[in-house]
Structure formats: structure tokens, C-alpha cells
A = this chain, B = another copy of it.
Amino acid sequence: MTKIPVGILGATGMVGQRLVELLADHPWFEVAHLASTDRSVGRPYREACRWRLPSPTPFSVQNIPVSPLDPALAPGLVFSALPGDVAGPIEEEYAKAGHAVCTNASAHRMDGDVPLLIPEVNSGHTALIHAQRKRRGSGGFIAANANCLTAELVLALKPLSEAFGLRKVHGVTFQAVSGSGYPGVPSWDILGNIIPWIAGEEEKVEIEPLKLLGTLKGDRIEPAALTLSAQCNRVPVRDGHCACVSVGLECAATAEEAMKVLEGFRPSKEVTGLPGTPEAPILLHRDMDRPQPVLDADGGRGMAVSVGRVRPCPIFHVKFFVVGHNTVRGAAGGAIHNAELLAAQGWLGA
């Protein structure tokens, strides 16, 4: 199979680098275009980008010259890792010009006709693309992945939602510094410390799950009838967002029933066939002190979420601890996973 050429917008930042890393050996996609807003334009990627990941810069992209942001130069499929303050209009421009834009930015996540996707959770929401294409009069479209914390939270909630129904979700988060990009959080603020606030995060975590767990009705998503409360905190961890989650269900369930449902969760056949889908999207731990970000963030090559300490909650029904890789499942890996879904469903086609 000839690989599909892809472009990366915002290729030199933290998520851009993860996209480059994860796409290096991708079976379906091939990086053909790297674009950036900054002064790096024109220089080969290996010089333009101060690479900050432990793995070396993939050989195949080292000499690709960094392009300016111009839809005319980009292949049909682009990943957007653009900064939040500029992503919105630029992505719109690419979609208008006919590109499929898989974005990690939050600008369009809640747009009525933009699918907000986690393949294991709501692969049918891609149907929104019809409305989007009609609106723009072009074949282009935007598909978004969720906020990093939301993605792992909703993946863990999905089987509980299916089996027991969700009424209330109370989440307190422990978020890694890689989630703030680069340079991100100053070391003086976080070394040996906890910061009880992340700008804009709680708002996203309280609203995005309603769309992700919502129901496609014609050309719109009816939000899930669910109340969320989020308290988001930054912790001195490099990679791996964690959350303490308490869940109120429609039909009461024991901790053991919840565990069975969580470890038994398997995605649809369509989604199982995607390269980015982990064998088991949810890794259940029964040891008291697991999961932990250092030990478990890389589970399923960073695409699985790890859940443990599932137990009864004196106030809600069950509570648990969840860990996921915030720049893989929660960002770059999630965007690629979405593109795989779009390819499998035929949205990228000629």
C-alpha cells in the first residue's frame, strides 16, 4: 500500500514533536510536510526544531525544510499541533481549502458540526463531517481529539456508561508538566510543589465529555445527560496525567462489576483494526498502589489507559484512579488515531 502523505502544522512544539515521533514508522501515513509559524521556516527540521524527546529525531524528517503555514503547500491530510491562540482561524482556512484537518487544538472541539473523536468511544460521530462539508462547500473538514485529560477520562468512563449509565462524575486531576507544552511551567513553580489550577482546563473537562459520550441525532450530537465536576492540578511529573474519579451511576454497580466491565472492554471491529488501537484500551490493575504515571503511562505504547483502585465510594457508587499518557493518547497519538479512523471509514479518499 502506498502511504498517505501527511503534513504537521506546528511541527516544532511539544505535540508537534510527538506527532513526528509517532508517525515515523506509521504503516499508513508518511510525513511529507512540516509547517511552523515561527522563525524556523526554511531551515531543515533537524536544525529548526530543538528536539526535546528522549528518542532521536527520526532520520526520515531531519532534512525536510520547514514550510510556512500555507494550505497550497500542504498535502490533503494535516495534523494540527498549533498553539491554542492561533489554531482556530488557520485550521478553518485549511478546511476551506479542502484539507482534512486532524487537530489537537481546542478551538473547534465544541463546534456543532466538528466531530470530537475517540475511536473506541464514538466512531460514529464522524458523520458530522457531511454537515461540515456542506457548510463550507469544500471537501475539507476538521476533526478534533479531546483535551488530554478528557481523552483518558472518557475512555475509562465509556464502558461504565454503556453498562450502568452515568449520572455524575467527580474528577480531581494530577497533570504532568508536558501538558503545558514548551517552555510551559517554570521549574520554580513546580519543583517539589503542586499548583491547584490550570488555565481553562476545568471548563474543558466539564464540557467535552458530554459531547464525546453524546448521541448522534441527524446532523448534530445530543449531549449526554451527565454532570461533571473537575478540579485540575499540575504536579511535578514529566509525562502521564492521573485522576481520582468518583462516579454516580444510573444502575448501581459493585466495584467488582465495574472492574469486570472495565477489563472486558473491547472496541468495535472497525476500531480494533486501526494501527493505533491498543490490544486492550483499558488496563485494569488490582494491586493497591497502581497505576502510577512512571510505571503505567506508556501502557499499550501510550495509547491504553490504566485504571486501578476500583472500589466503592461512600458518596457515589464507585471510585477509581486512572493514568494515561497525555501527549500520546491525550494529544499526538489521539490525533493520529482519529486520522486512522477517518481513513478506514473512507473520509480521506480521493
Contact = CB atoms under 8 A, between A and B. Distances in A.
A292 B168 contact: no
A321 interface: yes
Interface of A: 14, 52-54, 168, 170, 172, 174, 177-178, 182-197, 206, 227-229, 231, 233, 235-238, 242, 244, 246, 288-296, 298, 308-309, 313-316, 319, 321
A186 B187 contact: yes
A294 B170 contact: no
A206 to B, nearest CB: 7
Nearest to A242: B194
A244 B296 CA distance: 24
A154 to B, nearest CB: 17
B182 A294 contact: no
23 contacts: A52-B295, A54-B295, A54-B298, A170-B170, A170-B315, A172-B172, A174-B235, A182-B188, A185-B187, A191-B238, A192-B237, A192-B293, A192-B294, A193-B294, A194-B237, A194-B293, A196-B242, A196-B308, A227-B314, A231-B321, A233-B244, A235-B235, A238-B294
B196 A292 contact: yes
Contacts of A191: 177, 187, 190-192, 236-238
A185 B182 contact: no
Contacts of A231: 172, 244, 246, 309, 319, 321
Contacts of A229: 246, 313-316, 319
B197 A188 contact: no
B197 A289 contact: yes
Number of copies: 4
A243 B73 CA distance: 47
B244 A172 contact: yes
A172 to B, nearest CB: 4
Contact of A315 (B53, B168, B298): B168
A185 B184 contact: no
Nearest to A55: B298
Nearest to A177: B187
A154 B307 CA distance: 30
Contacts of A193: 237, 292-295
A52 B188 contact: yes
A318 to B, nearest CB: 11
A113 B319 CA distance: 34
B187 A236 contact: yes
Contact of A309 (B196, B227, B237, B308): B196
A82 B314 CA distance: 31
Nearest to A54: B295
Most B Cβ at <10 Å: residue of A190, A228, A316: A190
Given A168-B315, A182-B188, A185-B187, 10 more contacts: A172-B244, A177-B187, A183-B186, A183-B188, A185-B186, A187-B189, A187-B236, A193-B294, A196-B290, A231-B309
